[in-house]
């Protein structure tokens, strides 16, 4: 069971179900054999007696065999198909559980359409293997070994005549295993790339048309499809040639067995009836080899999918306990962080106190957004420490941390639902009136009431029916509603117009009271009055202080203020 579970990335229940299904499949093989053996013994009995003396016994035995066969097939059906659908469901749920525990940064590093394909298509492909290939390959494989041993024990020449072609045939399938898997993997990877290319082409319609990239994109898509087509052909051939060769070769076992039987008959070492019995046996055996061969080829086919699921399930999930925090000072000490090989934060130290606003400033690419991502556990840091209210951030489970943090980022994510539902994400049990109150504070109400159905208007996929500023304001309304003790704001004024920004700034001043607030802003004017400013330079802290202290002590800060003032005065 453990081996099955490990090999095919099954759940506990799935591995048990697969084992039962394999036993059922083995029993079905035995039942088919039993029917043929019964026929053989009836024939011998009739020949020995010279008349149909035991007809009623034959009929009774046949009825019992038919009943047993029905029971075995019914058992096989239930244990494979029912168990399979349950396993596909459980596998999807267990993948979803893993995804839930992954740092959100994982999703930034991985292509989302690829993850969706793994969850839906890969599991669907595996579903077929669970219901057909795996139990049948195991059942037929065990049956084959058992029959082979019995035949070898009863007549070594006939046993060898069957064994050699069967062994050669299975050998071809196993020796071509690596080649088959490699062909399938190339096609699989290309198919995944194609999904991304096509998704890009659909999502980037505006850019494609405005930059006249239609022809270029079209030929890129066509090229990708043609490459996938070629790889599909080579995957089919890569599997088809060895499997067909092996399956043709196994038919040779019938010829070699007939030759062996004839030879033994001529030498008088075998009765004709026993010869017929061996012929029946070899035809069953070749059927079993075909079942094993085809099903094993399917297992090679799903191998890359199993690997993908294993990789996903083995990704380390974020740990931590549910922690109740009483104070909310954030302390960052000796912090280091890399995206893969690229180290972007080096020995960062600062404190963001409760009841104060701490601004992170610095040139583009200096590590500010990364710092906010680490504070919110979207990524986990490599070295050093971050504590909130004295508790190590890594010890706080993401769920309990997100309960205490509101985040407003430049890239707002909205769901394809109503305005009311989208704001209520901030606090699920909020009343309609509380949602409206939050919307008023974030200066949303005016545009919401202008929508056709007010708060009940559907806003489209990721708020596609709203402007950038409107979407941003909805996400600020969420933060108002959530009213969490820690507030992380990343460039929230980027898509607000001047009028709204001023109004929102006033509401924000209300919202930030008594909270630990960390804010990133390029507009240096807007952070002049904050309690503390942390200046980042190439992933390191350049200086920490108030505006007036930094104006006196930091060259970089003075340059940032100067540039920001120039930008503010810029006219087209």
Q: Interface with ligand ADP by CB under 6 A: which range of 175-183, 275-283, 339-347, 438-446?
A: 339-347
Q: Which is nearer to ligand ADP, 27 or 386 (CB)?
A: 386
Q: Interface with ligand ADP by CB under 6 A: which range of 79-87, 364-372, 382-390, 506-514?
A: 364-372
Q: Which is nearer to ligand ADP, 281 or 360 (CB)?
A: 360
**358 near ligand ADP, rule: CB under 6 A:** no
Query: What's the chain's Rg over C-alpha atoms?
Result: 35
Q: Which is nearer to ligand ADP, 70 or 339 (CB)?
A: 339
* The binder of ligand ADP chosen from 206, 326, 342, 450 (CB under 6 A): 342
Helices 12-49 and 272-314 sit at what angle, rounded to 10 degrees? 180
* The binder of ligand ADP chosen from 369, 422, 500, 554 (CB under 6 A): 369
CB of 539 to ligand ADP, least distance (A): 7
Contact 319, 397 (CB under 8 A): yes
Q: Interface with ligand ADP by CB under 6 A: which range of 195-203, 259-267, 365-373, 559-567?
A: 365-373
Pairwise CA distance, residues 244 & 169, whole Å: 10
Contact 356, 516 (CB under 8 A): yes
CB of 358 to ligand ADP, least distance (A): 15
Q: Which is nearer to ligand ADP, 365 or 390 (CB)?
A: 365
**521 near ligand ADP, rule: CB under 6 A:** no
**103 near ligand ADP, rule: CB under 6 A:** no
Contact 324, 395 (CB under 8 A): no
The pair of three-digit structure tokens given for residue 119, joined into one six-digit string: 């969850």
Pairwise CA distance, residues 393 & 382, whole Å: 12
Q: Interface with ligand ADP by CB under 6 A: which range of 47-55, 211-219, 361-369, 494-502?
A: 361-369
* The binder of ligand ADP chosen from 17, 362, 389, 485 (CB under 6 A): 362
**366 near ligand ADP, rule: CB under 6 A:** yes
CB of 369 to ligand ADP, least distance (A): 3
CB of 524 to ligand ADP, least distance (A): 14
Closest CA to 221 of 246, 199, 236: 199
* The binder of ligand ADP chosen from 85, 107, 174, 339 (CB under 6 A): 339
Q: Interface with ligand ADP by CB under 6 A: which range of 44-52, 66-74, 84-92, 337-345?
A: 337-345
Q: Which is nearer to ligand ADP, 238 or 362 (CB)?
A: 362
Closest CA to 541 of 526, 553, 524: 553
Closest CA to 318 of 235, 387, 379, 361: 379
- Rounded-to-10 torsion of CA 329, 335, 337, 341: 180
Q: Interface with ligand ADP by CB under 6 A: which range of 18-26, 53-61, 367-375, 388-396?
A: 367-375
Burial class, 185, CB count within 10 angstroms (exposed 0-12 / middle 13-18 / buried 19+)? middle
**450 near ligand ADP, rule: CB under 6 A:** no
Scanning the structure block, which residue is given the tokens 């992170």?
A: 360
| Residues pairing with 339 in the sheet | 342
**341 near ligand ADP, rule: CB under 6 A:** no
The pair of three-digit structure tokens given for residue 186, joined into one six-digit string: 């190339």
* The binder of ligand ADP chosen from 210, 364, 450, 548 (CB under 6 A): 364
Helix/strand/coil (H/E/C) assignment for every residue in 343-369: EEEEEEEEEECCCCEEEEECCCCCCHH
Contact 224, 232 (CB under 8 A): no
CB of 477 to ligand ADP, least distance (A): 24
Binding mask 292-331 for ligand ADP (x = CB under 6 A): ----------------------------------------
Q: Which is nearer to ligand ADP, 20 or 344 (CB)?
A: 344
Let me know the angle formed at the C-alpha of 425 by 421 and 426, rounded to the nearest 5 degrees. 130
Tallying the residues shown for the chain, one arrives at 572
Q: Which is nearer to ligand ADP, 270 or 378 (CB)?
A: 378
Pairwise CA distance, residues 362 & 321, whole Å: 34
How far out from the chain centre does Cα 478 lie?
29
* The binder of ligand ADP chosen from 272, 365, 390, 460 (CB under 6 A): 365
Burial class, 112, CB count within 10 angstroms (exposed 0-12 / middle 13-18 / buried 19+)? exposed
CB of 354 to ligand ADP, least distance (A): 24
Pairwise CA distance, residues 291 & 283, whole Å: 13
Let me know the angle formed at the C-alpha of 367 by 361 and 368, rounded to the nearest 5 degrees. 40
Buried b (16+ CB within 10 A) or exposed e, 205-221: eeebeeeeeeeebeeee
**377 near ligand ADP, rule: CB under 6 A:** no
Q: Which is nearer to ligand ADP, 135 or 362 (CB)?
A: 362
Contact 481, 427 (CB under 8 A): yes
CB of 551 to ligand ADP, least distance (A): 21
**542 near ligand ADP, rule: CB under 6 A:** no
**556 near ligand ADP, rule: CB under 6 A:** no
Compute how many residues bind ligand ADP; rule: CB under 6 A: 12
* The binder of ligand ADP chosen from 284, 368, 436, 441 (CB under 6 A): 368
The pair of three-digit structure tokens given for residue 378, joined into one six-digit string: 């979207």
Which residues in this chain contact ligand ADP in the complex, by CB under 6 A? 108, 339, 342, 344, 362, 364-370
């Amino acid at each position: 069971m453990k081996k099955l579970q490990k090999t095919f990335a099954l759940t506990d229940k799935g591995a048990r179900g697969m084992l039962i299904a394999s036993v059922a499949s083995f029993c079905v093989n035995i039942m088919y054999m039993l029917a043929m053996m019964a026929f053989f013994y009836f024939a011998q009995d009739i020949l020995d007696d010279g008349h149909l003396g035991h007809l009623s016994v034959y009929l009774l035995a046949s009825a019992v065999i038919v009943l047993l066969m029905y029971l075995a097939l019914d058992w096989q059906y239930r244990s494979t198909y029912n168990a399979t659908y349950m396993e596909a469901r459980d596998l999807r749920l267990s993948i979803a559980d893993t995804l839930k525990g992954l740092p959100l940064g994982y999703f930034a590093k991985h292509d989302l359409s690829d993850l969706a394909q793994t969850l839906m298509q890969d599991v669907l492909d595996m579903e077929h293997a669970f219901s057909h290939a795996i139990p049948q390959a195991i059942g037929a494989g065990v049956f084959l070994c058992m029959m082979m041993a019995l035949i070898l024990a009863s007549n070594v020449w006939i046993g060898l005549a069957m064994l050699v072609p069967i062994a050669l045939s299975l050998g071809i399938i196993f020796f071509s295993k690596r080649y088959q898997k490699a062909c399938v993997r190339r096609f699989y990877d290309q198919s995944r790339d194609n999904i991304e290319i096509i998704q890009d082409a659909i999502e980037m319609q505006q850019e494609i048309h405005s930059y006249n990239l239609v022809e270029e994109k079209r030929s890129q898509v066509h090229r990708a499809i043609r490459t996938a087509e070629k790889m599909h052909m080579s995957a089919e051939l890569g599997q088809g040639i060895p499997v067909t060769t092996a399956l043709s070769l196994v038919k040779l076992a019938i010829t070699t067995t007939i030759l062996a039987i004839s030879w033994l008959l001529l030498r008088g070492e075998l009765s004709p009836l026993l010869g017929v019995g061996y012929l029946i046996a070899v035809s069953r055996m070749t059927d079993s080899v075909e079942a094993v061969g085809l099903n094993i080829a399917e297992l090679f086919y799903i191998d890359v999918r199993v690997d993908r699921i294993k990789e996903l399930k083995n990704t380390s999930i974020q740990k931590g306990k549910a922690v109740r925090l009483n104070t909310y000072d954030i302390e960052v000490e000796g912090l280091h962080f890399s995206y893969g090989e690229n180290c972007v934060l080096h020995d960062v130290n600062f404190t963001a106190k409760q009841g104060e606003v701490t601004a992170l400033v610095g040139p583009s690419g200096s590590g500010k957004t990364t710092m906010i991502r680490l504070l919110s556990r979207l990524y986990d840091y490599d070295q050093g420490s971050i504590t909130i209210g004295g508790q190590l951030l890594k010890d706080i489970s993401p769920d309990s941390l997100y309960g205490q943090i509101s985040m407003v980022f430049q890239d707002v994510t909205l769901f394809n639902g109503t305005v009311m539902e989208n704001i209520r994400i901030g606090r699920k049990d909020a009343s309609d009136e509380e949602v409206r109150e939050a919307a008023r504070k974030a200066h949303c109400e005016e545009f919401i009431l202008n929508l056709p159905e007010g708060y009940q208007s559907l806003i489209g996929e990721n708020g596609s029916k709203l402007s950038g500023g409107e979407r941003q304001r909805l996400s600020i309304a969420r933060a108002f509603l959530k009213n969490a003790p820690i507030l992380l704001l990343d460039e929230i004024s980027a898509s607000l117009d001047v009028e709204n920004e001023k109004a929102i700034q006033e509401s924000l001043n209300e919202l930030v009271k008594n909270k630990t607030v960390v804010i990133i802003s390029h507009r240096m004017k807007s952070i002049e009055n904050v309690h503390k400013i942390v200046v980042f330079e190439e992933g390191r802290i350049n200086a920490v202080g108030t505006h007036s202290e930094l104006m006196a002590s930091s060259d970089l800060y003075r340059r940032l203020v100067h540039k920001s003032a120039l930008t503010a005065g810029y006219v087209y």
